[in-house]
Structure formats: structure tokens, C-alpha cells
Amino acid sequence: MRPSGRQPDQPREVTLTRGFTRHAEGSVLVSFGDTQVLCNASVEAGVPRWLRGKNQGWVTAEYGMLPRATHTRGGREAARGKQGGRTLEIQRLIGRSLRAAVDLKKLGEFTITVDCDVLQADGGTRTASITGACVALIEALQYMQRKKMIKTDPFRQLVSSISVGVYKGTPVLDLDYPEDSAADTDMNVVMTEDGKLIEVQGTAEAEAFSRAELNNMLDLAESGCQALFAKQHEALGIRR
């Protein structure tokens, strides 16, 4: 029934490739099927002006899509002279999600910026970004500990994210582009390992959805996120 032939509760193949580029303190190429996002975490001394002197750090994200990541070429935001509303909305979501993974008080006056640049898009770029960026962020924290920039580990908990939706009346997990563009409802969920919620963003694209459908979708998301946590642990080499 799904264009890809997947079962409703079947996510796409996920890979998390560490060390994809050399310069960043954390660098992960994440793929959710044909969606590929390069997540580079950069550590910089200092915090934004409004945080100065508060004895804490900051974690933020920027998001971009290469012009031909998509089926037809999209304009380059740098050439147009501004980031679109969708871009700003996504990078705010990624930043909030990552801050749930870290104790900013233990980070010291450093800023970690995770750049999520979509090399190839096939639906779910924001959920792939959060999932990959979390690993790049942890790599950067490990770098800071090795370099003695911080004394205690600011890591609090893994976060991962996956999309769910109602496609032709059936709740499905991890929508690809053909599903995403035809779904009745599209929801992005960000979770912690103990099954709690960091973000829930559900949108009725065509038909309003019921509380029952919402619950079905959240059940799917929970199982999907658990699989992503396993992938993150594997990539990080942390015994679960």
C-alpha cells in the first residue's frame, strides 16, 4: 500500500556515518533512506549577547538545503538574500530539540552550533537532522572533554526524531516524499529514551485528525524513536 512497499510501522534504512568531514568537532552524515543530511557541530568560545555572564553555554542549529537536494531545483537562499520561513522554523525546532540533550550549565561559556545541510531530500529532513545532529553534538562534547575545555560531561540524554502521518487513512511511520506530499496528516515527534516527548508537531494537511489517530501515530513514533536510539548508540559505540 505504501509507495515504497514498506509496512505501516516500518521505518526506512537509517545510517549514521561519523567523521564525514574533517574540520568539525562533530561530523555525522545521517541518512533516512534517500534523505541525506550532513550534520557538523562547531564549538566556539563565547555565548550570544543575551547570555553573557550567566555562566552557561548555548546550543543552536542552522539548517539549509542544497539547491538541487530536491526533485526540481530550488533557489539558493543566499542568492535570494534571506532564509525562508520553512528554513527558520526547522532550525528553531532542531535547536530546541538539541538543547534538551544537554545541561547548558555544565557547558561553560561555549556555543555549539550544529549545521544541518541537506545533500539529498526525500521527506523527513528535519527528523533526520535532529537524529544525526544529536550524535554530532555528542562527538563535540567528547572533543571538549578531551581538550579539557569542560570538566564535567554536559550530556543529559539522547534525543531522536521521526515523522508519522496518516496516509490514505492508515497511520504510517517515517514518511518519504511521495507519502509526505499526499498525506492527510503529517506529524514530527522528538523523543527521549524513556519515551517522553520533547516536541510534537502535527498538522492536518487535508482532513482534521482525531484523538484516536493521534494516539496511533504517537505509538508508531515511539517504536520508531526506539529504533533510532539503537542506531545512535551503535554509532557512538556506547553500550546501551
Q: What is the dihedral of CA 58, 85, 70, 198, to 10 degrees?
A: 50
Cell of 227: 529504533
CB closer to a second copy out of 89 and 234:
89
Q: Which helix (H) or strand (E) holds 1?
A: none
Q: Is there a binding annotation on residue 124?
A: yes
CB of 33 to a second copy, least distance (A): 11
Contact 25, 90 (CB under 8 A): no
DSSP 12: P
CB of 236 to a second copy, least distance (A): 20
Which residues fall within 8 angstroms of residue 67, CB to CB, at 6 or more apart? Answer: 73, 74, 75, 76
| Lookup result for grid cell 515523522 | 163
CB of 81 to a second copy, least distance (A): 5
CB of 61 to a second copy, least distance (A): 11
Which residues fall within 8 angstroms of residue 74, CB to CB, at 6 or more apart? Answer: 65, 67, 68
14 has which bridge partners?
A: 32
Q: Is there a binding annotation on residue 86?
A: yes
Binding site for a second copy (CB under 8 A): 21-24, 27, 34, 36, 38, 40, 42, 44, 62, 64, 66-73, 76-89, 91-92, 96, 100, 113, 115, 117, 119-121, 187, 191-192, 194-204, 208-211, 214, 218
Task: For residue 191, give the amino acid letter.
Answer: M
CB of 7 to a second copy, least distance (A): 23
| Lookup result for grid cell 515504497 | 4
CB closer to a second copy out of 3 and 7:
3
CB closer to a second copy out of 77 and 151:
77
DSSP 75: P
Cell of 178: 511521495
Q: Is there a binding annotation on residue 49?
A: no
Q: Is there a binding annotation on residue 6?
A: no
Half-sphere exposure of 111 (CA within 13 A, CB side): 15
CB closer to a second copy out of 67 and 178:
67
Residue list for the binding site for phosphate: 86, 124-126
